[in-house]
Structure 1
Amino acid sequence: METLLSRLGFFLFLLSTFTFYHLSLSFSPIDNYLINCGASLDSVVDNRRFISDSSDSPDSHLSSARTFSLCAGTLLPGQPQIYHTARVFKTPSKYVFNVKDPGMHMVRLHFHQFKSSRLNLGNSQFHVLVNDLVVLTNFSGGNLAGTPKVMEYLLWVNSEKLEIAFVPTKKSNFAFVNAIEVISAPKDLVPETAQYVNGDEVEKFEGLDKQAFEVAYRVTVGGVKVTPFNDSLWRTWMPDDAYLKSSEGSIKVYFGGRIKYQDGGASREVGPDNVYDSARLIQSKNASIPNVNLTWEFPVMEDYKYLVRMHFCDIASISLGLLFFNVYVNGHLVYKDLDLSAVTNYVLASPFYADFVVDADRSRVVSVSVGPSSKSMAYTVDAVLNGVEIMKMNNSVGSLDGKLPAELLLMCWPRRAVSILLPLIALVCLLLSFSAVMHRRKNQAGTVPWLKLPMDVHEISPKHAKLQLSNIVT
């Protein structure tokens, strides 16, 4: 019995040590705002506390008065508590956050459509701006299909404030949000440069870390869904099956060992263990090398640039220096004979990522591919891919959704239009009144004025009158 207790104590010691070690490695952002919108109480999701934005809370960050909270009319089974309430805005309203750590920030907006006796969030339509960057245009709660939607953005912040504004459209006259996250990002999350794929040419793209991004896709290749609980930046990674053009020739592989992160390479914040410990690969099983590429296709919006991040980790080779393969973006060769051993300082199971910027053309598809190269060897792994991220980049007018800048969207708000129209109506009325007065005076100037008859007229006798009349006639 004593031996059993000692073993149990030793096991608990190891468990606590591992937990402490794991927590010590977790990312701790300087700016970390989690807001439970429309709720009177805080809510915990994935061990993270979302703070109520009620007026009684000192941490509400809500700077607008004409808002109200809304609660779901019925319980929503399986949904976190943050999706049971919402903050509703009848006029342009905003949240304001103090920025202590200038630089790249992650902003997540949580939306979930529900009905209550007071309002149906499915009837909403609105715009959203973050520091004058348009992130959503004519967003409608009716398009949420009954499931929560998280819109995630990465943007450079060099001011002391970060403002998130919600602007109702004329069609619905109200906007809403269920929860908000504003988190300062790790310094190595977005580098300064990337490779710009311009046709068959690959050029250097500078200033990447000063751009704004909307996360379109975040995919773990060959693995299962990764939830925020298992990601140090609280991201969600979806399985790749829906985007894989053909699984012919691909093999899924899982790794039970430790992912070896290195200084200067991909960090755990760039990609978590649960992404790098699974992959799809091409492997030759005989003396011939498979003549096949693995391709993933992602629908995108035309006329935007996209950041394509590909994650690699050699978790399948039995030795160093055996894996060589080609990498393609939109069908263009961007890496020839990629040697993962060389780029990871000759360490197996060490992650590596590559960034590419592409233009979305009329096909409205961004594709990535991996396949054997001229240096691939028989009886070895001939290509591997662990994860893919696709992010939309802001256009020239400072928008991630549409061609209208923030100034025009604000001018289109109906009540603002009314406030401009009323003074114009008053001015027109004043001009009409002035014109009427001037017209009246002009008419009076063109007629003989009426004179009062004299009261002291002398009497004329009939005789004199007859004489005067005869004189006039003659």
Structure 2
Amino acid sequence: METLLSRLGFSFFLCLFLYCDFALSFSPVDNYLVNCGAFLDSTVDNRRFVSDSSDSTHTHLSSPQSFSLCAGTLLPSLPPIYHTARVFKAPSKYVFDVKDPGTHMVRLHFHRFSSPNLNLVDSRFHVLVNGLVALTNFSGGNSLGPKVIEYLLCVHSENLEITFVPAGNSNFAFVNAIEVISAPRDLIPETAQSLNGDEVENFEGLNLQAFEIVHRVTVGGAKVTPFNDSLWRTWLPDDEYFKLSEGSTKVYFSGKIKYQEGGASREVGPDNVYDSARLIESKNASIPNANLSWEFPVMKDYKYLVRLHFCDIASLSLGLLFFNVYVNGHLAYKDLDPSAVTNNLLASPFYLDFVVDADHSGIVNVAVGPSNKSMAYAVNAILNGVEIMKMNNLMGSFDGKLPAEMVLKGSPRRSDFLLPSIALVCLLLSLSVFMRRRIDEGDSVPWSKLPMDIPETTPKQGKQQLSSKV
């Protein structure tokens, strides 16, 4: 009996713990999940994506010329939101009510499947998000699998609009699923450090900017899926971007990640990112002369927010880890001491934000390495995660130099080609009609013999008299 009561008590406390943990998890005020082109709702990662069909009360769709499309071959390995698509034959938009002003996450899901009626590979279109040009001449990604494009933007209007505009000769646009979620307040702070060479300045108003997520990687660990992230993000392994393997070590942590107020929250970075890392370690009296380095391809002529995630899960005690941080080859932070940042607490996460310009190489380089304060027989550098976010340019675009007004008018290349062509054709037709008319008029005048007794006159008078005869 005592054993049974003990088990019941343990089960009660376990349920209470799980309930409290669930209650404290992030619950967004605005949480729109749309299953585009579907007639029924779908569940993915314990989240319900609602149908946008005309029968649904949550359609949010304003489109006089759109239709649903179902994949010809359903792949059971893909979530159901990629089995259907909403196809647009004319500019169309989704409108979402904003109840919680501030930063919002917008995710667009694309999968270029084919069906007996239409092949989505032939698509080409533009996408606008709340007046910002998100994509131009986009074809839906590659045919290897779904593509998810994510944006973070500050919204203080009553509505958030996502517009799809067919472009070029494809005559249609499409989307498989849409997420619009209000972000936690601490996701994007007000201030970051702006790097101009080796000079570091404050960048104010960061939380008022708009971003496109270009890279989001977990360093040294396995892929993190939306199921294991409180903001339903995907973190890819860093192997593709990591450039130095000799002298580096992967480390994994099985203890508790100690989130604390003022540091990184679980929404900024999940446990699965902070419980793995790559590091440089001194195993003798000498300090390794090497840096851990990563290279991330980016689009030139844009500013980028570079967020670096740190959590000292490798040091044996406090005050032993000092290292330098470099971005694009410039010293971004000298003699970084995690113990000082985390108020003398190991396994406590934090992050650093830097605003940088992409150089002409189209690469953002991130590196960490030993500093002058690094110690022997200790960890000399560590990194747990990296995020690279593109900032929109002065034209309000993430993809090109055309403002939204011109994008809404259609493909600029096609317009620039057609207008001169039409003008040239009109000019040639006008000349042809004019020349034909002159020839016809010349043929209609009857022939007559010129008079032989023309009096002598001055050239001017003679011209006048000849004119009067004609």
Amino acid at match of 1:377: M
SS at match of 2:86: strand
Q: Which residue of 2 aligns with 1:75?
A: 74
SS of alignment partner, residue 243 of structure 1 = coil
Deviations 1:164-199 (A, max 9, x none): 000000220000000000001111111111111111
- Determine the structure 1 residue equivalent to 2:395: 397
Residue in structure 2 matching 1:255, options 253, 256, 270: 253
Distance 1:98 1:389 in 2: 29
Aligned to 1:446: none
Identify the residue that residue 284 of structure 1 maps to in structure 2: 282
Q: Distance in 1 between matches of 2:385 and 2:283?
A: 24
Q: d(CA) in 1 for partners of 2:231 and 2:112? A: 26
SS in 2 for 1:13: helix
Q: Which residue of 2 aligns with 1:166?
A: 164
> Where does the alignment leave 5 or more consecutive residues of structure 2 unmatched?
442-470
TM-score when scaled to structure 1?
A: 0.86
Q: Is the 8 A contact 1:282 1:384 kept in 2?
A: yes
Which 4+ runs in 1 deviate beyond 4 A? 2-8
Aligned residues of 1:114 and 1:146 also touching (Cα < 8 A): no
Counterpart position of 2:224: 226
Which AA in structure 1 matches 2:350? F
Distance in 2 between residues matched to 1:23 and 1:375, nearest whole Å: 42
1:65 is matched with: 64
What is the alpha-carbon distance in structure 2 between the residues aligned to residue 374 and residue 344 of structure 1? 21
2:242 aligned residue: 244
The one of 247, 270, 273 equivalent to 1:272 is: 270
Provide the C-alpha distance between the structure 2 equivalents of 1:183 and 1:12, rounded to a whole number of angstroms: 34
Offset from partner CA, 1:415-443 (integer Å, 9 cap, x none)? x98xxx9xx99xx9xxx9xxx9xx9xxx9
Q: CA deviation at 1:41?
A: 0.6
**What displacement does 1:283 show?**
0.8
Deviation sequence 1:40-87 (CA, Å, 0-9, x none): 111110011000000000101001121100011111121000000000
3-state secondary structure, aligned to 1:163: strand
- Residue 36 of structure 1 corresponds to 35
Residue 138 of structure 2 is aligned to residue 112 of structure 1: no
Contact 1:37 1:86 in 2 (8 A): yes
For residues 218-268 of structure 1, give each alpha carbon's deviation from its aligned partner in whole angstroms, at most 9, with x where no partner exists: 010111100001111000000111110011111111111111111111111
What is the Cα deviation at residue 307 of structure 1? 0.5
1:3 to partner: Cα distance: 6.4
Instruction: Determine the C-alpha separation between the residues in 2 that align with 1:171 and 1:391.
Output: 32
Distance in structure 1 (CA, Å) of the matches to 2:17 and 2:173 = 45
- Residue 45 of structure 2 corresponds to which residue in structure 1? 46
Letter of the aligned partner of 1:113 in structure 2?
R
Q: Does 1:192 align with 2:185?
A: no
Counterpart-to-counterpart distance in 1, 2:14 and 2:73 = 41
CA distance, structure 2, for counterparts of residue 25 and residue 274 of structure 1: 18
2:291 to 265, 273, 293: 293
Render the CA deviation track for 1:438-470: whole Å, top value 9, x for unaligned.
x9xxx9xxxxxxxxxxxxxxxxxxxxxxxxxxx
SS class of match (1:342) = helix
Which secondary structure state, in structure 1, belongs to the residue aligned with residue 250 of structure 2? strand
CA RMSD in angstroms comes to 2.2
Q: Structure 1 residue 203: deviation in Å? A: 1.3
The percent identity for this pair of structures is: 73
Q: Distance in 1 between matches of 2:314 and 2:62?
A: 53
Deviation at 1:100, TM superposition (A): 0.6
Matched, 1:13 2:16: no
2:145 matched residue in structure 1: 147
Match of 1:457 in 2: none
2:377 matched to 1:353? no
Shift of the alpha carbon at 1:205? 1.1
Contact in 1 for aligned 2:325/2:369 (Cα 8 Å): yes
Check whether the contact 2:109–2:146 (CA below 8 A) recurs between aligned residues: yes
User: Does the alignment pair 1:132 with 2:152?
Assistant: no
Q: Which residue of 1 aligns with 2:446?
A: none
Given that 1:167 and 1:413 are in contact with CA atoms closer than 8 Å, whether structure 2 keeps it comes out as: no
Q: SS at 1:73's partner residue?
A: coil
Which residue pairs with 2:314 in the alignment?
316
Partner SS, residue 61 of structure 2: coil
Tell me: CA distance 1:252–1:10, structure 2 relative to 1, closer, same or farther (3 Å). farther
1:331-366 per-residue CA deviation (whole Å, 9 max, x = no partner) reads 111111101000111111111100001101111100
TM-score, normalised with respect to structure 2? 0.87
In structure 2, what residue type is equivalent to 1:306?
Y
SS at 1:75's partner residue?
A: coil
SS of residue matched to 1:79: coil
Q: Residue 317 of structure 2: SS of its match in structure 1?
A: coil
The match for 1:370 among 358, 368, 373 is 368
CA–CA distance in structure 1, aligned partners of residues 14 and 27 of structure 2: 22
The aligned counterpart of 1:386 is: 384
2:292 maps to amino acid: L
* Matches of 2:65 and 2:220, distance apart in 1: 48
- Work out which of the two has the higher radius of gyration on C-alpha atoms and give 1 or 2: 1
Q: Counterparts of 1:14 and 1:148 in 2: how far apart (Å)?
A: 41
Letter in 1 for 2:18: T
Q: Report if aligned partners of 2:220, 2:237 keep a CA contact under 8 Å in 1.
A: yes
Q: What number of residue pairs does the alignment pair up?
A: 425
Is the 2:113–2:143 contact (alpha carbons within 8 Å) kept by the matching residues of 1?
A: no
Shift of 1:158: 1.2
1:235 and 1:211 mapped to 2: Cα distance?
Answer: 20
Among 164, 180, 183, the alignment partner of 2:181 is 183
Q: For residue 156 of structure 1, what is the aligned residue in structure 2?
A: 154
Deviations 1:370-403 (A, max 9, x none): 1111111111111110000001110000000111
Letter paired with 1:27: F
